[in-house]
Structure 1
Amino acid sequence: MKIVTGRRGVLRAFALSTAAGAIGLASARARPASAAVESALTPPGATDLDALKQRLARAPRRRDFKTVPMILTNPEQWDHEALTEVLSYKSAPKQVWDNTGIGSPWLNLMRNSLNSQIWSFKHPDFLAVSVTHGTAHLALYDQATWDKYQLTRLAGEKFKTNTLILERKAATGDPADYEDPAGPFSGEDNSIPALMRRGVVFMSCHNAIWEQAGALIKADVNPDKLSQGALAAELTNHLIDGVVLIPGAVGTLPELQQAGFHYAT
C-alpha cells in the first residue's frame, strides 16, 4: 500500500484537479477534522496520546465526494494522512478492534480495555483503534443520514436512532474520579464521543459503505435515485466528525498488525 505523507505533498496533490477526475471523483477537497481534542479524559502522563489526538484533528478529511469507485486505488480516495499518523504511533501497547455488530458490546469492551491498560497496567499512552464494518459501521453516520435512508432497517429495531453518537449524562462526571461507577469511565458512558475523547480512533470501512449503498438501492431506499457510486459518496460525506476513512476493514487490519497493534474482536 502506497501512503503519501507530508502536508506539503498532500496539498500539491489536491492542486492537480485533473488527477481527481482521473480517479473518478468530482471533488476531493480536504478539510481538517474538528473533533474534540480535549485531554480531560486522557490520563495524566498521556503525552504521546494527546499529541496524536492533536495531529489527527489537523489531518485532512475528504468529505465532498460526488462519486466513489467500488475499490479504492489511490490514497487521495481515503484519509491516508490520518491513517499514516495511526500507523506511525510508536507508543506501546496498542490494540485494534475488529468491530462488526452494532448491537454487540463493542463500545463497552473497548472501554474496559482502556481502563485496564491505563489504571491496572499503568500505560497512559495506550491507543485503541476500532476498525469498524458490518452493522457496527452504521453508528459512524450522522443522524440526518439515518433519517434520510431509514438506517434502522439495517441496524435493527433496537436502534430507532443512532443512540451511540449521543452524549450521556455520565460525561459530566469528574474525570479525576476514575472509580465513579456512574462517571465518564463507567459503563454509563459507553458512547462514541466519550471514547473519542479518550483517544480511541474509529476507522470507517469503504467496503462497508459500498455494500450498504447497494443494500439501500436494493431495498428501494434511494430518494434521489443515485447510482451506487454516488450513494456511497453521500454516505461517506456524512461520516461523523473525527472518523478515519480507510479502503477496507479486513484489508487494513494487516497494516495495523504489522505496525504493532494487537488484534481483538
Structure 2
Amino acid sequence: MNLVDQFNTDFFRLDGKVAIITGGASGLGQYYSKALIKSGAKVMIASRSDKGVSELEAFAQKNGPEVGFISRDVAAENAAKDIVAATIKKFGQLDILINNAGIQIRNKWHEFEDEDWQRVIDVNLTAAYHLAHEAALVMAKSGGGKIINIGSMQSYRAGKFIFPYTASKHGVMGLTKAYADALASENIQVNALAPGYIDTPMTKILQEDQERNTEILNHIPDGHWADPSELMGAIVFLASPASNYITGVTLPVDGGYLLR
C-alpha cells in the first residue's frame, strides 16, 4: 500500500491509544511514560511503589491524556492478568505494552546467591513473557498492537559482575524475536529498545568509578552519558504507526557504543 500522500507527522502520534508501562513512574520508565503522554496516549503505570505517580498525574493533567496506576510486583503470581484486566477496566482497550520493569544485582561471580539469580530473571524476563502473553490476547482480538521490551547493552555484551542481569537481557532479545514471529499474523509488532549508558541512579556506581567511567566514555563515539530524555523519541517511534513494518528488532540507543 502506498501511503505517500497520507504520510505526515501524525504517523508518530498516539492519540486514542492506551499503553501499559511497567515501572513507568520512576527511572527511565518515567521518561517513557512522559513521551507517550506527550504523544497523546493514555498510560497505565504498573509498579510495586507509587513513587513518582503523583508527578506523572500532574504531567498528564498539563498535557491532556489520563494516567492510571496499579500497585503490583510484576513477578508476583497472576500479576500480568491483574495488570491487563485493570487497564481494560479503566480505559476499555490496550494498544501498547512497554515491558520496562527491571532490577540489577551486582556481585562477584562466586558470591552470587541462587535467590539473586532467580529474582532478577523473574522480574526482567519471566514477567515480560507473561505480560506480553496477556497483552497479546487482548491485542489480537482488537486487530493489533505494539509490544516493546526493554533490553540493554547487556543484551549484546558480557557483564562479569551482573550475571543474572546479562542473562535476562540476552533473554529479552530472544523473547522479542520469538513473539515478533509468533504475533506478526495478528498485526502485533514486537520490538525492543536497548538503552546505552544513561545517566540514571542505577549507573551512578559506574559514573563514580573514575577508571570505569573513563573507559566507558572512551568507548562511546558520542562521548557522553545520555540524558534519559534522549530515549523518548525512540520509544514513541516503536509505539507508533510509523514503525508498523518493523518487528523483531532490538534498537540500540547508545551513542554508537556498540560500534567499538
Do they superpose with TM above 0.5?
no
TM-score relative to the length of structure 1: 0.33
TM-score relative to the length of structure 2: 0.34
RCO comparison, higher one (Cα < 8 Å, 6+): 1
